[in-house]
Chains A and B, each alone.
Chain A
Amino acid sequence: MKIAVCVKQVPDSWAEKKMLNGLLDRDGVDAVLNDLDEYAVEEALKLVEAHGGNGEGGSNTVTLISMGPERTKEAVRKALSMGADEAIVVTDPALVGSDVLTTSRVLAAVIAGGGFDLVFCGTESTDARMSVVPAMLAQRLGWAQLTFAGSVQVDPDSRSVTITRVTEAGVDTIKAKFPAIISVNDKINEPRYPSFKGIMASKKKTIDVRALAALGLDAASVGVSGAWSIVNDATPRPPRAAGIKIVDEGAAGEALAAFLAEKKFI
């Protein structure tokens, strides 16, 4: 099987984020591999390990795909050290300020040319927090959409894949044939830590860096000028007015009930 995993480099979740001219100031914070994408990498690796392996002598490949600034390569390197085989990184100055429609168009262009059977994604990027890229990829490519998977079962012989999706209302079991876009949630597995051997091996793996032109996409249709949603302004939220804080000395439960009554919640 040929598997791809879409991974994104994001500002560290724990770092304070700032806006700069209506865009996220990406240079001012540490950048890491989107932690939700680690579950996608892990699921892809588990899948190939169960069906003949990858790497030297394996019958499958796991290719990482990412769009982002030059330093995205660092995040991609981490996923390579987990065990993926190779990576394609799309980076181009024209892409700065792209909206999600552009991101999905760029990723779809890479996927369309790759001959993949399955593409794994995380459920959301921790910076954009939209959870829409996988659905957009399925729509653009005309592939099956299997998103928010809590479990994935693949039968390479019949080229079919079945997932369970936990929704607000219940659990759905959804089935499709290859090719499919799958996004996996953070309950599905425990992502591995890169081993020393994995880290050393990743240094020899290829990262194929592509500019927009290599994808046949026009610079004018991407970036800020090609974005279909525009930020008018971004302002720090006024800090919440300091609240009441009491220490329980035996009557705090009653005080809480009184507070709730005063605020008309009861």
Chain B
Amino acid sequence: MIINHPLLGPRDAQEFTYLGDANLLNRPNPDAPDAAERFYEYLYLRDNPAGLHRELWYHEQGDRSWLVVTRNTLTHEITKVELARDVARAAQAAGESA
């Protein structure tokens, strides 16, 4: 697989390590009254879709940036690559993060 890095261009997926579903960016508020339940869901439950999947890749052998890659889990085709920083900031601006 080739990941088209937004800053560095096309890079071999071997340079990256994989973390998982991009929902891991949306960390629950630890002070919320139902924090235990929400952290259980955050830590352990997954949508695990067959099809388009937004996921976190870390460019360990490169510029050490975190990326949000949109990839089809049925074909391994990558359709979108964003900097995780931009995704997180956009979510924060939109008030989505907990």
Report if A and B associate in a common complex: no
Residues of B within 8 A of A (CB): none
